[in-house]
Amino acid sequence: MLDWAGRGDLGYGQTMSLPRIPKAVVFDMDGLLVDTETVYRDAMTAVAGEMGHAMSLDVFKAMIGLPDNREVLVGHYGADFPVTAFNARVVGLADEMVAAGVALKTGVLEILDHLDMLGLPRAIATSSSHRAVASHLGASGVISRFHAVVAKGDYARGKPHPDPYLTAASRLGVAPHLCLALEDSHNGVRAASSAGMMTIMVPDLLDPTEEMHALCVRIARDLHEVQGLLG
């Protein structure tokens, strides 16, 4: 039986369980289901170099989980930075890299099998486009295993606003507070938590901060650890 003993110092491998029994699970995509954050990192770094700019890891990290990177790019490189051309080239290069092969993250197939066994509905809530969902996950065959896919264009405001997660809960027909949200990014955690969902961060390129510990019910090493919480 799932119970709750208070948040405490949430960290890897802790023993406390979830505050409520989840009735649905909502997954982020990039960095959580599929190992594409490293693809975007490498593509952005390469394209910035082509344009005569250096892209630090901190600048890239500031864009993780955002539906629009314009503010970050202009804030760092200046108002004359060609954001539209940069993003178009990044998408093209990232597509080439994904086509060469991109791996699902550890535990994806196992947790989906477990959710099938439990009969729990699940959705994807991503800042990426539906085209990107098809590109990143199509070859793996897992898209059909989700009951809803919420992507850019399906909501008014992207992460860190709650709209993507509220839309996912609505499409699943489950109250947000009964949904478990799984995220790897800070902006994603902020979005899921503000939607009222139980939120677990599974870090990828971003380390959990004190804010993330406060917003999450758990910080998990990987999806295997999340699976173990679901009974």
Among residues 3, 28, 58, 163, the one annotated as catalytic is 28
The alpha-helical segments, DSSP class H, found in 100-158 are 108-118, 130-137
CA pair distance 69, 29, nearest whole angstrom = 17
Structure tokens belonging to residue 208: 């959990």
Active site residue 28: yes
CA pair distance 144, 137, nearest whole angstrom = 10
Active site residue 30: yes
Structure tokens belonging to residue 148: 């809803």
Among residues 9, 30, 80, 184, the one annotated as catalytic is 30
* Residue 12: half-sphere exposure toward Cβ, Cα within 13 Å: 9
CA dihedral 153, 109, 215, 195 (to 10 degrees): 40
Residues 6+ apart with CB under 8 A from 172: 24, 26, 121, 122, 123, 147, 148, 179
Sign of CA dihedral 17, 18, 23, 25: negative
Residues 6+ apart with CB under 8 A from 166: 155, 176, 195
CA pair distance 217, 213, nearest whole angstrom = 8
CA pair distance 108, 224, nearest whole angstrom = 8
- Tell me the catalytic residues: 28, 30
